[in-house]
Amino acid sequence: MMEYTPPDLDLQGLVIIPPAIDPLSPKNMALSADDARYITNQFGIDAERPFLVQVSRFDPWKDPLGVIDAYRLVKEEIPDIQLVLIGSMAHDDPEGWDYWYKTVNYAAGDRDIFLFSNLTNVGSIEVNAFQSVADVVIQKSIREGFGLVVTEALWKARPIVAGRVGGIPMQVEGGGGILVDSVPETAAACVKLLEDPGFARQMGRRGKEHVREHYLTPRLLRDDLKLFAKLLGV
């Protein structure tokens, strides 16, 4: 992002190239609604009731405890709501376990909160399925890099509620989601989307178009080629 370039340096030939996702990878390939539902049902989610999902490492910057707080506020308005938190336990992230247990304790045995990880067989296809059928995808980060997980959810035409940090605003500016700065805002945005499916669908469609235009691998390849051509002076 331009904001990260030192303003007092004259960087000749500076090129800004955002990341992209591969739409043909298991994480992002198109799943039929039936297949995606089949997968989420296997994990015990009640298909008759709506669910929110956040897919993120268990890390304070991803704020899983804030997501649970927001879910509890949503539940006051929509008692049927379920929450799915998915996080991979990276080998290079020892703090992940502490935060996982902290999150499990915070969920306090609520049977409508589901915590999954790669260690409970939630890998790329399963993440894809949960992102594909969630009623709302949350990314309540309080600090973020680019936030690839937001790209992934937008690509699946899901409405997003996400923290106004890092690379998230530039991804959501196409109209694919609602930016938030607090737990009450997160909850209010989720309720709005859950209560107005037409609005949620429209938002999902806009998000997908924005990703198609800006954050898929063909665009990344074009940018890389342009950069190489520039470097080679051709």
Q: How many residues bind ligand UDP (CB under 6 A)?
A: 17
What stretches of 9-53 show up as alpha helix (H) in DSSP?
33-42
Residue type for position 163: G
Q: Which is nearer to ligand UDP, 104 or 148 (CB)?
A: 148
DSSP letter assigned to residue 157: T
Shortest spacing between CB 186 and ligand UDP, in angstroms: 17
Q: How many CB atoms lie within 10 A of CB 158?
A: 26
Query: According to the binding rule CB under 6 A, does residue 166 interact with ligand UDP?
Result: no
Measure the CA–CA gap between 173 and 209, rounded to whole angstroms. Answer: 11
Q: Which is nearer to ligand UDP, 82 or 128 (CB)?
A: 128
58-97 positions binding ligand UDP, by CB under 6 A? 86-88
Measure the CA–CA gap between 134 and 131, rounded to whole angstroms. Answer: 6
Shortest spacing between CB 177 and ligand UDP, in angstroms: 14
Query: According to the binding rule CB under 6 A, does residue 153 interact with ligand UDP?
Result: no
Q: Which is nearer to ligand UDP, 87 or 174 (CB)?
A: 87
Per the structure block, which two tokens stand in for 189? 């945005």
Burial class of residue 37 in the structure, from the number of CB atoms within 10 Å of its CB (0-12 exposed, 13-18 middle, 19+ buried): middle
Shortest spacing between CB 65 and ligand UDP, in angstroms: 17
Q: Which helix (H) or strand (E) holds 225?
A: helix 217-232
- Among the listed residues 78, 148, 170, 220, the single contact to ligand UDP using CB under 6 A: 148
Summarize as ranges the residues that interact with ligand UDP (CB under 6 A).
27, 55-57, 86-88, 117-118, 124, 127, 145-149, 152
